[in-house]
A and B are shown apart, each in its own frame.
Chain A
Amino acid sequence: MPLLWLRVALGCYAIGLLYALLALTQRSYLLNRIALPAMSLGMVFQFVSLSESVLVGGPVTITLVHNSESFLALLVMAAFMIVYLVYRTTSPGIVVFPLVFLLSFVAATGQQPFLLTSPGLRRGWLVAHIALIFTGYAALFLSFAASLLYLLQERSLKSKKSSGILLRLPALEVIDEIGYRSLLLGFPFMTLGLIAGSIVAQTTYGRVNLLDPKIFLSLLMWAVYMVMVFTRWNAGWRGRRAAYLAAGAVLAAVIAWSANYFSAIHRFVQS
């Protein structure tokens, strides 16, 4: 059943994907009107899907790799919705919707249930680790989306040609604020998530090797994240430089994620 709900959610997200793809080339009144309700409906189904699998298998099912992707998608959507409620703009959807679709797609089509295992696992810490880190990821993605929109809007203003889609983006400063706020909010989550993760690792393995790819890359990502927050706060970096940094942080996050497949201590194994 959870998989069924997830697939229904995926169907809803497909509408959002279509909206995002077409938003850059043309405006469709129909899509504009249905994209947001469709995405909200998708969230509901995804939530149902996840709740059901937690109810059946306990909180640790979140650590199943495909569930975790679905969970991440849900958090990203939630972050998007918060931005929508505060700023009344769906523009970040242009970047967020495809990502959510992709995550849900991978989650819905994956067959083997991998399980993140470490012997003698501390369940509470592990779930906290995942939830915190993923919230941090969601905020980071959103910030990245905002910096892409910032670049688009900035280019349109500089080129002095007003084309349709760009006129509908929020004002430059508003986009910047969205990006900065999600960055700021995401940072504590990311930090606490890493701390929770290191507690799990400590209690499981004792001393851990800092050069383990997963740990190294996670720390690298955190460092990039911190540099982003710092430069934005201190020097007001935005626009192109902020976008490069955000892209770097997202890249580091993706690599850190893929390190799950070759890290010694943080690995999904077939159950």
Chain B
Amino acid sequence: MNFQLIGVNHNSAPIEVRERLAIPESRLPDAMRRLAEHPGVDEGLILCTCNRVEVLAQTKNGAADLRRFLREYFQLDPAQYEPHLYEYRESEAIRHLFRVAASLDSMVVGEPQILGQVKEAYATARAVGAVHSQLDLLLTRAFAVAKRVRTETAVGSSAVSVASVAVELAKKIFGSLQGRHVYLVGAGKMSELAARHLVAHGAASIFVANRTHERAAQLAEKFNGQVILFEQLYETCDRADIVITSTGAPHAIFRREHGELFLSRRKNRPMFFIDIAVPRDVAPEMNDLDGIFVYDIDDLQQAVSSHVADRKREAEHAEAIVQSEVERFQARVQTLDVVPTIVSLHDHLETIRQAEIDRVRARLGPLSPEQEMAVETLTRGIVNKIMHTPISTLKTAAREPEATTVIDVVRRLFNLEEKKAARSGADRDQS
């Protein structure tokens, strides 16, 4: 196999370090070409996103110095970034790649962009010929794993932040947000963010009421909204489907009687209050009214964290999928590993057989076709009998961890080394 991976991500390195190692898109093809030409590297791929820089290589004999590649390519002081590097080999490298592609290693677990970024890197690497055989298999499998994780777990589906939880809740109440009206009471940063999310999901218009008119006007302008005098709050609020409150008022400004008033004016159409203020702007008993839903900041946080808990459970499921896929991939690659050995063993014995026949033929003189046939059958039979045990041992060993040892032993016993390019990681011991 001989997969090797080295890199930094958002966990291992601060942004300053990642910035220095980032390779602009225009220079990636060249970088990958240089990686593939690096001593010991057979195939290579570089993944570079805002959260990670990773170098993946399929090495010729399991001993490419990827750190040297980084030093030579970046020409930076290694002390700046080497402490932040992680390095994986073989199954660990496979697992890491699968996790990255499946967005399990992302800052926001489950975010969908990373898969596209890996695919782009793969396309670039293929275009410059840096990826052709084993890495091709590995990456194709990584895409399949990512797809499996996305369809079989809910890792990608949960909400991420307070603002998006608010949007999700609003959708649970109103269905589509198309044509819904949003009312901002108080003009804080958080409520602006929530409003932005709601508008992005189709909310129609924004009303802003704030004690300082200037700030309200500013905010309203951002959303093409309408400013409303704070004094007219109660008269106008029933127009809104979603009310986001974030004033600094010491007491609740919306109480039960206001809720009842709004409901009767709205013919009981539901209203959603998102109360980001501390102390709260909306009295909790408003939530008891049929058709009024009040979520304060704690409720939203709780919804976020329950999402996180869900996601944790789902992530465990996803990790299990990744693990089983790593094992499957290894088994597959190892089966591929024994094939060249079998072929060269076969070639080797066949050469010996032919040589021996040629040597003895001179002494036998001319043979009748029947005799020729008999000699052929006899020698072939002997060779096949001899080959049988090593081949079946190789095949059964293919799925075991000791495959490389068995391959190595067979190669040494029959002296196959010079015939085909060496494959096993154990080759290092001999050189």
Contact = CB atoms under 8 A, between A and B. Distances in A.
Interface of A: 153-154, 157-158, 160-162, 167, 170-174, 234-241
Nearest to A238: B268
Given A154-B290, A158-B287, A173-B270, 11 more contacts: A153-B172, A161-B306, A171-B171, A171-B172, A171-B175, A172-B172, A172-B175, A173-B173, A173-B175, A236-B268, A240-B290
B57 to A, nearest CB: 39
A183 to B, nearest CB: 15
How big is the B interface, by class? 20 to 34
Contacts, number: 49
A159 to B, nearest CB: 10
A236 B262 CA distance: 13
A162 B303 contact: yes
B266 A174 contact: no
Contacts of A173: 173-175, 270
Given A162-B303, A241-B290, A236 B269 contact: yes
B267 interface: yes
Interface string B156-174: 0000000000000101111
A171 B178 CA distance: 13
B81 interface: no
B273 interface: no
A160 B172 CA distance: 12
Contacts of B176: 171
A22 to B, nearest CB: 19
Interface stretch (B291-299, B399-407, B418-426): B291-299
A158 B270 CA distance: 12
Most chain A CB inside 10 Å of its own CB: which residue of B175, B269, B299? B175
A157 B175 contact: no
A184 to B, nearest CB: 16
Nearest to B298: A160
30 contacts: A154-B290, A157-B293, A158-B287, A160-B295, A160-B302, A160-B303, A162-B306, A167-B172, A171-B171, A171-B172, A171-B173, A171-B174, A171-B175, A172-B173, A172-B175, A172-B270, A173-B174, A173-B175, A173-B270, A235-B267, A235-B268, A236-B266, A236-B267, A236-B268, A236-B269, A237-B268, A238-B291, A239-B268, A239-B290, A241-B290
A170 B175 contact: yes
Nearest to B296: A160
Interface in B263-319: 266-270, 287, 290-291, 293, 295, 299, 302-303, 306
Interface in B168-227: 169, 171-176
Contacts of B287: 158
Contacts of B270: 172-173
A157 B267 contact: no
A174 B291 contact: no
Contacts of B171: 171
B272 to A, nearest CB: 9
The residue in A162, A167, A234, A240 that gathers the most chain B C-beta atoms within 10 A of its C-beta is A162
B416 to A, nearest CB: 50
A142 B291 CA distance: 21
Interface centre among A157, A160, A162 (most CB of B within 10 A): A160
Nearest to B165: A162
Closest 5 CB pairs of A and B: A236-B267, A171-B175, A236-B268, A174-B175, A239-B290
A240 B270 CA distance: 13
Given A162-B306, A239-B290, A241-B290, A157 B173 contact: yes
A130 B173 CA distance: 38
B299 A239 contact: no
B347 to A, nearest CB: 51
Given A171-B172, A235-B267, A158 B293 contact: yes
A173 B271 CA distance: 11
A170 B176 CA distance: 11
A152 to B, nearest CB: 12
Nearest to A239: B290
Contacts of B290: 154, 238-241
Given A173-B270, A236-B269, A157 B172 contact: yes
A62 to B, nearest CB: 38
A94 to B, nearest CB: 17
B271 to A, nearest CB: 11
A164 to B, nearest CB: 9
Contacts of B266: 236
A128 B169 CA distance: 45
Contacts of A171: 171-176
B113 to A, nearest CB: 25
Nearest to A169: B172
A161 B310 CA distance: 12
A239 B175 CA distance: 16
B291 A239 contact: yes
Contacts of B293: 157-158
Given A158-B287, A240-B290, A241-B290, A172 B174 contact: yes
A244 to B, nearest CB: 12
A163 to B, nearest CB: 10
Given A173-B174, A174-B175, A157 B169 contact: yes
A173 B291 CA distance: 10
Nearest to A87: B175
A162 B303 CA distance: 8
Contacts of B302: 160
A158 B290 CA distance: 9
A251 B139 CA distance: 62
Contacts of A238: 268, 290-291
Contacts of B175: 170-174
Contact of A160 (B173, B269, B299): B299
Contacts of A162: 303, 306
Interface in B95-126: none
Residue with the greatest number of chain B CB neighbours at <10 A, chosen from A167, A172, A240: A172
Contacts of B306: 161-162
A212 to B, nearest CB: 38
Contacts of A161: 306
Contacts of B291: 238-239
Nearest to B290: A239
